[in-house]
Structure 1
Amino acid sequence: MTVPGARSDALRGPTALLLYALLLSGIIVMVGLSTVVPGATLVAGALTLACAVLGLALVGRTQRLIAIVLMTIGGLSLILGGALGGTVDARDLLSVNQDLIGMVTAVSFLRLITPLSQATRPRLHGAPAVIRTALATHLLGAVINMGAVGIVGDQLRGRGVLRLPDAALLSRAYASAAFWSPFWAAAAAATTLVPGANTLVLLAVGLPLALVSIVLSTGDLCRLWGGELRTYTGYSLSWALIRVPLALVAVVMLAHQLFPELAVPRLVLLGGIGVTALGLLLRDWRRMPRTLARHARRDLPGLRGEVTLFASAGVLAVGLHVLFPLVHVVLPVPGFTVWVAWLMLLAMVLAALVGMHPVVSLAVVGALVHPLGPDPTLFVLAASVGWGVSIAVGPLTGTTMFLSSRYGIDSLVLSRRNLVYLAIVLAAAWPALWIVSLIA
């Protein structure tokens, strides 16, 4: 006799999570293998679609609704595009952000070799400690992504509560890493839409932009602390903290120079797994297989919200890319200029303010500007900056919701507090885009 509801409970139980972990592990393997066997990316795409379908049963109600809407719009756009004479082959149908998902899930393994607490005692106080904490969060976040917010946030909270100034610092410093880091979903998603960006130019322009944005917003953070600023010690840097990010940056940059034809997300995936494996080998080689397997089994399913959203956004992007050229959506601009890039960035931010995730807004604006033949480097920088500032000011983005659920921070209050940061980034982004237009 079947108990009512038993089937739906089973879909959310250990068996479903194990299957999900296996699917994600398969994506990592297939995306990595596609660097030498190009056809493996199609297998990764099929596994990604399977993750999207299974993820609908595993994510929360709001995420499920968003994913269903995105996939429905993408599917209908694909059908309508086909009816209007558009053609799409299997490779296009299976290009659903698998590189992006493989990179994000592979980078999560770096947590296994990243220390969870400070190895040194803070020496700076006041504004210098604020800047140091922001830079530490930025550096860690540039490589290990959301894990950095939890690592630094837990240390700042201690046994008490995380204060609003620290929450604002974490969101700004972390979000700014999207401006330049090749280890972020932002650059990976943008590169998928418009391949061929110059990674060194993105690094040379995006990193200074991020640092300028962080430093200029420090004054606002210091004002939030008021009289308590003098005793603020924040979070300190140590060699134990920075060696993992530096190792991964070095590996990926060297590999990119040696193999420029390989997509950066795939290099990040291989570099992340390789650096993690090396770190575990040096720590205790006998336990390395078990440690990797445990992370894949227990922690990878925790990324199901992001993965489902990225996969459903991939379906949306496929449909829009087929439909938009056929319905002749033409923007009233002569080409993808600096101003168009800046307005694209602004559009992503406005979408985030009303609750749209940047992976969705990027898919839409990417389809709109694609007929303009955008310069890849200019497009990726605009998309990356738009993505980064969006997750800092959007009340429903993953970063804001993480700070809200883990530390009890009011998401709307935090979003309003970060409007100062938004103004700084918008002002600094235009000259950065202009510089890229000159040297790209």
Structure 2
Amino acid sequence: MRLLYALLLSGITLAVGLSVLLPDATLVAGGFTIATAAVGLLLVNRTQRIIAAVLIGVGIASVVLGLVLGGQIVGRDLFLVNQDLIGMLAAVSFLRLVTPTSQITRTGLHGRLAVVRTALAAHALGAVINIGAVGIVGDHLRGRSSLRLADAALISRAYSTAAYWSPFWAAAAAAATLVPGANSLVLVLVGLALALVTIGLSVWDIFHLWGRELPAYTGYTLSWELIRVPLALVALVVLAHQLVPTVPVPRIVLLAGLGVTLIGLLIMNGRGALRALARHARHDLPQLRGEVTLFASAGVLAVGLRMLFPLFDLQLPVTGFTVPVAWAMMLAMILCALIGVHPVVSVAIVAALVQPLSPDPTLFVLAACIGWGVSTAVGPLTGLTMLLSARYGIDSITLTRRNLIYLAAALVASWPALLLCAALV
């Protein structure tokens, strides 16, 4: 079953990549995605299976209800089930093969500067290899003892802020799929600036958490070897998007991730490059089954909502997608996360609600990415908090409460960031 799942996920990745040249290949990827969701229901745990089944059930019911109410749906639309997002996630996972997983250099930094350096290192890794960065940095900081709450809070904040700007995160891919056409350069510049400001504002709380132990803190080393892959990939994606703006960003990310991985493996491993790729596809891709099943199920839900919502005369109390509306949308996603709703679900719902406002794609995607990133850190049932709980024994409710300071910093800093984004587009 795991082999079948690996083959289906590899098929999605290849078909999405091929759709850059052959647009109809995305329909093949959509078919693979639906099959992956079905197989994934057999592989995930009971809680994930229930959530995915509910999402799929609501999505199918929405389609049926839409047809009963006189709605129409194009056959191709039934296969738009987040395949670009899933293909991108699978492709980005290959970057672990060429990303350093341990400290490369030693420095004499201690105390506050070491905290800041650790935050930047977790952020740089998280921007490219996503959730894998949490394990890499967390295992190093834990050493032979348990991970402290201060380090868990630091990792969660530094890692989650990567969602604000990184094109390698599911946040950008999901939002760009729902409202395509965003300016990637503006997203990177404004989102990265906001991420650094938010980290700077919330890191003072980490200093307080360490108390008297702060002067001896050494943390995780930031080195050129660690950041060169993220920098190269971001530059490549932004350049490619400017040259071929009609190609969706998730597909550019997919091709860039696979290309950089292959080139890196050829340099590092020569003839063993293809074997390393095949081994990762066979053994590591199935480990994404929880995320992939959720995203595929949310894709089915999005299909149903896109068909059903236009049939109702939902009058929003606003007439345009302004900065206050974008900020409110972001806040709604965060509130949903606090009660256990995954951001991939909340972003699909808010996208369907604001669609009649014809939102500016760049402003929408930035607000969605901020909402996704903050939700990741403060939601008690997100993948990040569950990983920190299962792997390091960090109580998710305690971490959520501690990260409310980060939430406040993000809410305050996001308003001028959204204003800047609106001014640039």
Q: Is the aligned partner of 1:197 residue 2:216?
A: no
**In structure 1, what is the Cα distance between the partners aligned to 2:350 and 2:118?**
34
Give me the identity figure in percent.
69
Provide Cα deviations, 1:103-152, integer angstroms capped at 9, x if missing partner: 01100000011111101113211111111100111111111111111111
AA aligned opposite 2:341: M
In structure 2, the residue matched to 1:13 is none
Offset at 1:436? 1.3
For the pair 1:88 / 2:61, whether they are aligned, the reply is no
Q: Tell me the distance in 2 between the aligned counterparts of 1:404 and 1:78.
A: 37
Residue of structure 2 equivalent to 1:226: 211
2:368 aligned to which of 376, 383, 405? 383
Paired residue for 1:4?
none
Instruction: Report the alpha carbon displacement of residue 161 of structure 1 after superposing the two structures with TM.
Output: 0.9
Q: 1:421 Cα deviation (Å)?
A: 0.2
CA distance in 2, matches of 1:124, 1:339: 41
Rounded Cα–Cα distance in structure 1 between residues aligned with 2:152 and 2:269: 36
Q: Secondary structure at the match of 1:217?
A: helix
Shift of 1:28: 0.5
Instruction: Structure 1: give runs of 5+ residues left out of the alignment.
Output: 1-15
Q: Secondary structure, in 3 states, of the residue corresponding to 2:105?
A: coil
On the 8 A contact 1:142/1:181 being kept in 2, the answer is yes
Q: CA deviation at 1:99?
A: 0.3
What is the 5 A alignment of 1:176-325? 176-325=161-310
Match of 1:400 in 2: 385
Which AA in structure 1 matches 2:235? A
Q: Write the distance in 2 (CA, Å) between the matches of 1:135 and 1:330.
A: 43
Q: Write the distance in 2 (CA, Å) between the matches of 1:34 and 1:110.
A: 21
Give the aligned residue type for 2:38: V
Greater CA drift, 150-159 or 247-256: 247-256
In the TM superposition, structure 1's runs of 4+ consecutive aligned residues that sit over 4 Å from their partners are none
User: In 1, Cα distance between the equivalents of 2:361 and 2:350?
Assistant: 14
Deviation at 1:439, TM superposition (A): 1.7
Report the TM-score when normalising by structure 1: 0.96
Give ranges in structure 2 of 5+ residues lacking alignment: none
Opposite residue 229 of structure 1, the aligned amino acid is L
TM-score, normalised relative to structure 2: 0.99
Separation in structure 2 between the aligned mates of residue 373 and residue 28 of structure 1, nearest angstrom: 30
What is the one-letter code of the residue matched to 1:158? Answer: G
Q: 1:348, 1:115 → 2: CA distance? A: 33
Structure 1 CA distance for aligned equivalents of residues 315 and 6 of structure 2: 42
Structure 1 match to 2:326: 341
Residue 254 of structure 1: how far off its partner (Å)? 2.0
Larger CA deviation: 255-264 vs 188-197: 255-264
Match of 2:18 in 1: 33
What is the rounded CA distance, in whole Å, between the counterparts of 2:137 and 2:194 in structure 1?
A: 22
| 2:151 counterpart residue number | 166
Indicate whether 1:136 and 2:130 are aligned. no
Distance 2:224 2:204 in 1: 28
Q: How many residues align?
A: 425
- CA distance in 2 between partners of 1:434 and 1:370 (Å): 20
Q: Partner of 1:81: helix, strand, or coil?
A: helix
Partner residue in 1 for 2:28? 43
Q: Is 2:120 aligned against 1:145?
A: no
> How far apart are residue 90 of structure 1 and its match?
2.1
Letter in 2 for 1:245: P
In 1, the alpha carbon distance for the partners of 2:148 and 2:79 equals 44
Aligned counterparts of 1:188 and 1:281: Cα–Cα separation in 2: 28
- Cα shift at 1:59: 0.3
Asked whether the 8 Å contact 1:122–1:235 carries over to 2, the reply is: no
Shift of 1:338: 0.9
